[in-house]
Structure 1
Amino acid sequence: MKAVKNYMSSPVFQVEANTSIQEVCKLMMERGVGSVIVTENGEPKGIFTDRDAVRAFSMGLNPTDEVRLASTMGNLITVDEDTDVFVAIDIMTKNKIRHLPVKDKEGKIIGMFAITDISKALHDVFP
């Protein structure tokens, strides 16, 4: 079994839900990441991805609008750090998502298993 913790990206960047879409997009560009966790009072509540940014602007949202308006909020799909990569891939496929937050044993988000990590995992399984 190959666990997602061996392939995830870390650290995971988090922003409060009242942060502007523009600020979040700038952070994502500076850090070279495709997603951030959206929190409310420090608690993870959603995710904002590069795809959400495109959707937000195509819907007419302004760069100064809060990221909560463009994020997937309330249904944060996560996996445990010891989850097998093939189980994680199945979850991503079934939910049509490209970023999967990874939690440690205490429930804290410690990484992000993304579609770009799948090729690394598959390369180890099928060299």
Structure 2
Amino acid sequence: MTIANILRGKGSQVVSVGPQDDAAAVARTLAQHRIGAVLVRDAQGGVLGILSERDIVRALAGQPEGIGRLQADQLMTRVLHTVSPETPITAALSMVTDRRVRHLPVLDGAGALVGMVSIGDLVKARIAEAEQEASDLRNYVTSGG
């Protein structure tokens, strides 16, 4: 199973914010959409970085007087770990584990953004895949091969 399988079920909508949006606006966007990260994109739609709840908490810990006025481009993570639609789910799971990230933007062969997957999406898909494999094996064994 690949990332494309997840996107077929989930869709390709990606919530994003602008680089000048302040931390409070970003936090409202995260809460409104009940998500853990947004992409930071420029006016042309280019991806500049990713901004997660983790980034906000780290900034808050470093600036306890408040981060409400800091802008997305000051808070975001600039190094993106990405996958393609053809990436196997197991490879994406390894990536989020090894790189300690929770969200992976999905880029096509031309580098265009086509979606984003979370660790939750990956785990859900892998569980479904394992359950299907177990069901197929039970059917094979009970049918006599």
Which fold has the larger relative contact order, with Cα–Cα distance below 8 Å and residues 6 or more apart in sequence? Answer: 1
Contact 2:92 2:122 (8 Å CA) reproduced: no
Structure 1 partner of 2:50: 47
Structure 1 partner of 2:136: none
Match of 1:30 among 20, 29, 32: 32
Tell me if 1:67 matches 2:72: yes
Structure showing greater radius of gyration is 2
Q: Count residues with an aligned counterpart.
A: 125
State the superposition RMSD in angstroms.
Answer: 1.6
Q: How does 1:1-127 map to 2 (within 5 A)?
A: 2-8=1-7, 9=10, 10-41=12-43, 42-60=45-63, 61-73=66-78, 75-127=79-131
Structure 2 runs not aligned, ≥5 long: 132-145
Structure 1 partner of 2:138: none
Q: How far is the alpha carbon of 1:113 from its aligned partner?
A: 1.4
Determine which structure has the larger helix proportion and give its number: 2
Deviations 1:58-88 (A, max 9, x none): 1115212101121101x11111111100111
Q: SS state of the match for residue 80, structure 1? A: coil
Give the aligned residue type for 1:94: D
Q: How far is the alpha carbon of 1:39 from its aligned partner?
A: 2.1
Contact 1:7 1:120 (8 Å CA) reproduced: no
Deviations 1:84-121 (A, max 9, x none): 00111111122111111112343221221111112211
Structure 1 runs not aligned, ≥5 long: none
Give the aligned residue type for 1:64: R
Q: Identity percentage over the alignment?
A: 29
Q: In the aligned structure 2, how far is the partner of 1:12 from the partner of 1:5?
A: 15
Determine which structure has the larger strand proportion and give its number: 1
